[in-house]
Amino acid sequence: MTRYVVARLAGAAAVLLAAFTVAFAVLYLLPSDPVSIMLDQSSTGGYVDPAQAAALRARYGLDQGPLQQYVGTLGRTLRGDLGTSVASGAPVAGLIAAALPETARLAALALVLAVVGGGALATAATWTRSARLRGVLLALPPLGVAVPTFWVGLVLLQVLSFRYPLFPAVGNRGAASLVLPAVTLAIPLGATVAQVLAHGMGAAWRAPYVETALAKGATRTRVQLHHVTRNAVLPALTLLGVLVGNVLAGSVVVETVFSRQGFGRLVQSAVTTQDLPVVLGLVVVAAAVFVVVNLLVDVAYPLLDPRLTRGRAAA
């Protein structure tokens, strides 16, 4: 088990380094100059003072060569220093720390709704003995995945905020303002969960051990809980890392549609102004969250399925 965890930690570190390197290379190769953009936005007439621009490039290290910038930025990142925003002059770590709590609340609620809703839909689809109802229920997850997130958000706004003012349309005002963005974000996530769980549950219901349990007198409820769901959850657990990545990506759209302040809006603002330190810091933080969640899933998998540990010991 120790060797397994060490190997996963090494893989996680390699993924983080690769994400940082690719993001830095892409941002460095951008044709525009963030310092010129910042000075042009803050001045009148669009005139950029060359001396002022040179001073700002030196301040942010943009006057150095690519390798020097890469090594210097990587060293600062490893020390926990994500740099300074070119647009606002504020520390990048502070900007991200201020934005993350709102997105974390939104993501947590969306994940809970996705898991509960997707699990209930998959269970109902595989539990029912009606072929027609099963077909209808199994057709819902592909529809949920295919529908654009921004369209779902706009429909919910039109119906539940404008036509029937049940929830706030925009902003971060209390728990009620979380409902519509969380539901918007949860629909495609829950559809993905339902697809994977329904496939796993369907295969489990056809497995020989289920037939044996039913033949021994076990009720369908007991078989569903102790055999079908238990075995179908393990493949779905792998989805957790992917779902976290989808939440971070979807927050850009959802927080823009609902005018919420958070990680997604910070991404949108940094990309629009080409604030390279902020964009790079956001990529690093998002990659770190993704890696940590996948690492936890990898470590939990052998604990939930001891056969994996026995298989590595035998090898």
- What band does 308 get if pLDDT is binned at 50, 70 and 90? low
* 290 shares its domain with 183: yes
Do 11 and 54 belong to one domain? Answer: yes
Burial string for 193-230 (b: 16+ CB within 10 Å, else e) reads bbbbbbbbbbebbeeeebeebeeeeeeeeebbeebbbe
Q: Hey, what are 34's tokens? A: 């963030």
| Res 315 pLDDT > 80 | no
Residue 226 φ then ψ, to 5°:
-95, -15
Give dist(CA 240, CA 291) in Å, integer: 11
Instruction: Find the mean pLDDT for residues 242-249.
Output: 79
Domain membership flag for residue 61: yes
**3-state DSSP percent of the chain in helix, strand and coil, to 5:** 80, 0, 20
Residues 179 and 310 both lie in one domain: yes
Q: Are residues 26 and 106 in the same domain?
A: no
Task: Give this prediction's pTM.
Answer: 0.78
Which among 151, 183, 152, 156 has a CA at the least distance from the CA of 169? 156
Q: Which domain holds residue 248?
A: 92-314
C-alpha closest to that of 264 among 151, 93, 99, 20: 99
Query: Does residue 247 lie in a domain region?
Result: yes
**Any domain includes 85:** no
pLDDT tens, position by position, 148-199: 888 898 999 999 989 988 888 887 777 888 899 999 999 998 998 898 888 8
Q: 46 with 179, same domain?
A: no
| pLDDT of residue 209 exceeding 60 | yes
Same domain flag for 187 and 99: yes
Q: Which of 49-58, 110-119, 124-133 has the lowest mean pLDDT?
A: 49-58
Helix axes 176-205, 92-127, angle to 10 degrees: 40
* Positive/negative CA dihedral, 233, 235, 241, 244: negative
Q: From CA 314, how far away is CA 307, in angstroms rounded?
A: 10
| Inside any domain, residue 265 | yes
- Is 302 in contact with 237 (CB distance < 8 Å)? no
> For residues 266 and 270, what is the distance between their CA atoms, to the nearest angstrom?
6
What's the total number of domains in the chain?
A: 2
Do residues 62 and 158 share a domain?
no
Residue % of the chain over a pLDDT of 70: 88
Q: Is residue 131 part of a domain?
A: yes
Q: Which two tokens stand for residue 104?
A: 């974390």
Angle at 157 between CA 154 and CA 163, to 5 degrees: 125
**What are the φ/ψ torsions at residue 84 (nearest 5 degrees)?**
-125, 140
Residue 38 and residue 164 share a domain:
no
* Residue 150 to residues 119, 168, 254, 255, 257, Cα–Cα distance (Å): 24, 17, 7, 10, 7
Task: Select from 78, 110, 129 the last residue of a domain.
Answer: 78
